[in-house]
């Protein structure tokens, strides 16, 4: 897996300008909505073009209905359906890894953990499983400890109410409390790095607008 990865979200992207030897692509392959007993996939609709040989990570975004009468059942059948749906992204061209993006609430964590363990057990050898992580999960939480993933990517951007707390945490020289978060980090091109962010870790880059060739200067100079 390259040390620099671009997140390609739900929008048209032409990334043929990147060097596959230096930069990989984590693309939104689908969003899966959990509602009552239903697992409702919405596949990517926007075109994505990459250079031959690009390291491709298929991202599945998981969202849950929040209303009292539409809350997911989170039962075994739902877990199995979700695992099957996520595994289907391995059929997409050149996919070498899977990433799950799920901002699970406290009440959803047990389901998330069980689903990830089932998914890892059913994935082929040689396919890497990763996840995104809220920065607060990495700094002061312990629930990720037994997640069967190669890395949990702390998203150090758009942190909302936790922003100043996390920035001070890093500025004071602290590393992430959760070891799974110490191999990589998510960086917004708009917000940049914050003081205290480590320079020796895989960087996933986020951008609110389509990637352009002139963005490479900032990405390749990132240490």
Domains of the chain, by residue range, sit at 4-220
């992430």: which residue's tokens? 176
Q: Is the pLDDT of residue 4 over 90?
A: yes
Structure tokens at 221: 């100079």
Length of the chain: 223
Instruction: Name the average pLDDT for the chain.
Output: 94
pLDDT reading at 149 higher than 90: yes
Phi-psi category of residue 194: left, alpha or beta, with phi > 0 → left and psi -120 to 50 → alpha: beta
Confidence band for 222, pLDDT divided at 50, 70 and 90: low
On the question of pLDDT at 148 being above 70, the answer is yes
The β-bridge partners of 57 are 26, 97
Least confident of 83-92, 104-113, 137-146: 137-146
Question: Looking at residues 84-103, what average pLDDT do you find?
Answer: 97
- The per-residue pLDDT for 193 is 83
Asked if 50 and 63 touch (Cβ cutoff 8 Å), the reply is: no
Alpha carbons within 13 angstroms on the beta-carbon side of residue 181 total: 25
- Dist. CA 198–CA 121, nearest whole Å: 32
Is pLDDT of 88 > 80? yes
Q: Please give the average per-residue pLDDT across 101-109, as a whole number.
A: 95
- Residue 111, pLDDT > 90, answer yes
Give mean pLDDT, residues 95-102.
98
Q: What is the pLDDT of residue 142?
A: 85
Residue 67 has pLDDT above 90, yes or no: no
On whether the pTM is more than 0.75, the answer is yes
Q: Is the predicted pLDDT of residue 68 greater than 80, yes or no?
A: no
115 CB-contact burial (10 Å; exposed 0-12 / middle 13-18 / buried 19+) = buried
Residue 196 has what pLDDT? 84
Q: Is the pLDDT of residue 199 over 90?
A: no
CATH superfamily of 4-220: Glycosidases (3.20.20.80)
């Amino acid at each position: 897996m390259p040390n620099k990865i671009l997140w390609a979200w739900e929008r048209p992207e032409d990334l043929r300008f990147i060097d596959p030897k230096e930069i990989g692509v984590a693309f939104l392959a689908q969003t899966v909505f959990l509602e009552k007993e239903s697992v409702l996939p919405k596949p990517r609709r926007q075109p994505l073009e990459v250079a031959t040989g690009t390291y491709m990570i298929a991202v599945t975004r998981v969202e849950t209905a929040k209303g009292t009468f539409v809350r997911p059942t989170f039962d075994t059948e739902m877990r199995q359906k979700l695992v099957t749906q996520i595994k289907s992204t391995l059929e997409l061209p050149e996919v070498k890894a899977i990433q799950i993006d799920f901002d699970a609430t406290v009440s959803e964590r047990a389901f998330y953990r069980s689903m990830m363990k089932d998914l890892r057990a059913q994935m082929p050898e040689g396919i890497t499983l990763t996840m995104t992580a809220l920065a607060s999960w990495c700094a002061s939480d312990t629930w990720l400890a037994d997640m069967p993933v190669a890395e949990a990517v702390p998203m150090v951007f758009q942190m909302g109410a936790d922003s100043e707390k996390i920035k001070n945490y890093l500025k004071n020289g602290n590393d992430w409390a959760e070891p799974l978060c110490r191999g990589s980090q998510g960086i917004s091109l708009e917000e940049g790095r914050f003081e205290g962010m480590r320079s020796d870790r895989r960087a996933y880059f986020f951008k609110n607008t389509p990637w352009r060739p002139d963005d490479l200067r900032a990405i390749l100079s990132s240490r």
